[in-house]
């Protein structure tokens, strides 16, 4: 999971004629820490864990100036388990891999393995500077295993934690004009005779002036595990962010629906951050999830608190605590806990360190 943009240290190689310029940038992040979970499969657990505050990985970004305000762009990102050195997904070398064109006036067109607009706009754009002290653990999972998400049935069911990249995707995003931009994506399923099977559709709109952001997004993914790829999870969200003094506040209303069995969860989320000092930032998040009758009318409350201290622009230490409570004796599940609780309560506490380049 990740909900933070990796801070890139530029290691640029310049080449080409006077009218064209190329650059290659190596970037990445390493996140590691100790995590305690009150109940994971019936037992408490203390363990070393990586990739919680940010994906642990490294990538390459390439840009070539083609002239006339147009650039060729490409990006690769690989992620791995810092504890063992193994790939997070043994059958997948990269989390992102795409190539495309970017024009100052006409926007960006990319093709490959990419993120969708629920993550790009409802997390990255909406939270924006709040990402300095908000955690992926504050996103959505919970006591909804019948919802049908590929991991635990409910992990990242809104796609706001970027657990699921979209393969075979073509994405267009407009330039930002007067604070406004929009985008659309289609992920091809590749099934002969069944064009929409295993496909993904995503759309987004964003208005961002810095102190204020308003975002909306929609993604419909037909997972192979839901009705053989003929149905899936339909997600939408609207929300925004506002600067208040030395901090920010953000809200979101969203919904996830399994279109095969009509299981549905409404999500209401409030987050805030406050800079105690230039280096110390506190983050808070509360969310209420409301499952429909197909999900036994289960309700979920989750509250999280995080303190991040930046030793430098690239290195930070942090500590957070998250508590989740589910109704109707449903099993609680906090993102990153590793397993459902055997009760309707679960607590997760973590201290960690992150370095980016």
CATH number at residue 187: 2.40.160.10
Q: How far apart, in whole angstroms, are the C-alpha atoms of residue 186 and residue 188?
A: 6
Residue 285 covered by a domain: yes
pLDDT score recorded for residue 81: 87
Residue 111 covered by a domain: yes
φ, ψ at 229 (rounded to 5°): 85, 10
Cβ atoms of residues 133 and 151 within 8 Å: no
Q: b/e for 122-149, b at 16 or more Cβ within 10 A?
A: bbbbbbbbbbbbbbbbbbbbbbbbebbb
pLDDT score recorded for residue 349: 98
pLDDT at 20 over 80: no
Query: Greater confidence, 279 or 163?
Result: 279
Residue 204 covered by a domain: yes
Q: How far apart, in whole angstroms, are the C-alpha atoms of residue 200 and residue 163?
A: 15
pLDDT score recorded for residue 83: 87
46-96 tens-digit pLDDT: 999 998 888 899 999 999 999 999 999 999 999 988 888 888 776 788 889
Minimum mean pLDDT range among 11-25, 299-313, 334-348 = 11-25
Which residues are CB-contacts of 321 (< 8 A; sequence separation ≥ 6)? Answer: 304, 305, 347, 348, 349, 350
Over the chain, what is the mean pLDDT? 91
pLDDT score recorded for residue 12: 28
pLDDT at 128 over 90: yes
Residue 6 covered by a domain: no
pLDDT score recorded for residue 181: 97
Q: How far apart, in whole angstroms, are the C-alpha atoms of residue 14 and residue 188?
A: 35
Diameter of the chain measured on Cα atoms: 68
Domain limits for position 184: 22-356
Which of 9, 85, 48, 44 is CA-nearest to residue 352? 48
Query: Greater confidence, 7 or 300?
Result: 300
Cβ atoms of residues 118 and 215 within 8 Å: no
Minimum mean pLDDT range among 55-59, 182-186, 211-215, 256-260 = 55-59
The residue whose two tokens read 């919802």 is 147
E strand spans, 231-314: 233-244, 247-258, 263-275, 280-291, 299-310
| Cα separation values, 33 from 1, 7, 283, 347, Å | 15, 19, 18, 16
Query: Greater confidence, 81 or 245?
Result: 245
Which of 318, 290, 297 is CA-nearest to residue 136? 318
Minimum mean pLDDT range among 66-70, 188-192, 203-207, 228-232 = 188-192
pLDDT at 216 over 50: yes
The residue whose two tokens read 């993914």 is 221
User: Which residues face 110 on adjacent strands?
Assistant: 100, 171
Q: Work out how many domains the chain is built from and give that number.
A: 1
Q: How far apart, in whole angstroms, are the C-alpha atoms of residue 136 and residue 335?
A: 7
Confidence of residue 13 (pLDDT cuts 50, 70, 90): very low
Minimum mean pLDDT range among 17-26, 130-139, 305-314 = 17-26
pLDDT at 341 over 60: yes
pLDDT score recorded for residue 116: 97
| Across 284-303, average pLDDT | 97
pLDDT score recorded for residue 289: 98
Minimum mean pLDDT range among 7-16, 111-120, 210-219, 318-327 = 7-16
pLDDT score recorded for residue 10: 31
Q: How far apart, in whole angstroms, are the C-alpha atoms of residue 264 and residue 230?
A: 18
């Amino acid at each position: 999971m990740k909900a933070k943009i990796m801070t890139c240290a530029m290691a640029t190689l310049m080449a080409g004629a006077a009218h064209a310029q190329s650059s290659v940038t190596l970037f990445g992040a390493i996140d590691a820490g100790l995590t305690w979970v009150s109940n994971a499969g019936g037992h408490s657990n203390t363990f070393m864990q990586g990739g919680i505050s940010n994906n642990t990985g490294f990538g390459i970004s390439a840009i070539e100036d083609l002239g006339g305000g147009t650039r060729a762009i490409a990006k690769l990102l690989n992620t791995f388990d810092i504890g063992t050195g193994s790939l997070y997904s043994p059958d997948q070398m990269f989390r992102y891999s795409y190539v495309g064109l970017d024009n100052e006036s006409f926007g960006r067109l990319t093709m490959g393995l990419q993120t969708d607009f629920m993550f790009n706009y409802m997390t990255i754009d909406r939270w924006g500077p709040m990402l300095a002290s908000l955690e992926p653990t504050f996103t959505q999972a919970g006591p909804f295993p019948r919802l049908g998400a590929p991991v635990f049935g409910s992990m990242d069911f809104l796609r706001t934690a970027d657990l699921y990249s979209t393969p075979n995707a073509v994405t267009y995003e407009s330039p930002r004009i007067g604070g406004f931009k929009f985008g659309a994506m289609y992920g091809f399923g590749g099934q002969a005779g069944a064009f929409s099977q295993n496909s993904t559709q995503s759309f987004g709109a964003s208005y961002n002036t810095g102190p204020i952001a308003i975002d909306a997004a929609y993604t419909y993914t037909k997972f192979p595990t839901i009705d053989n790829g003929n149905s899936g999870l339909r997600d939408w969200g609207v929300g925004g962010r506002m600067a208040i003094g030395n901090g920010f506040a953000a809200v979101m209303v969203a919904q996830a629906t399994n279109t095969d069995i009509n299981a549905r969860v409404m999500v209401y989320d409030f987050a805030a951050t406050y800079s105690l000092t230039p280096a110390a930032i506190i983050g808070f998040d509360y969310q209420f999830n409301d499952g429909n009758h197909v999900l036994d009318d289960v309700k979920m409350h989750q509250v999280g608190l995080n303190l991040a201290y930046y030793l430098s622009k690239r290195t930070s230490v942090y500590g957070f605590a998250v508590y989740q409570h589910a109704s109707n004796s449903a099993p609680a599940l906090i993102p990153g806990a590793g397993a459902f609780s055997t009760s309707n309560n679960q607590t997760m506490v973590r201290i960690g360190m992150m370095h980016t380049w």
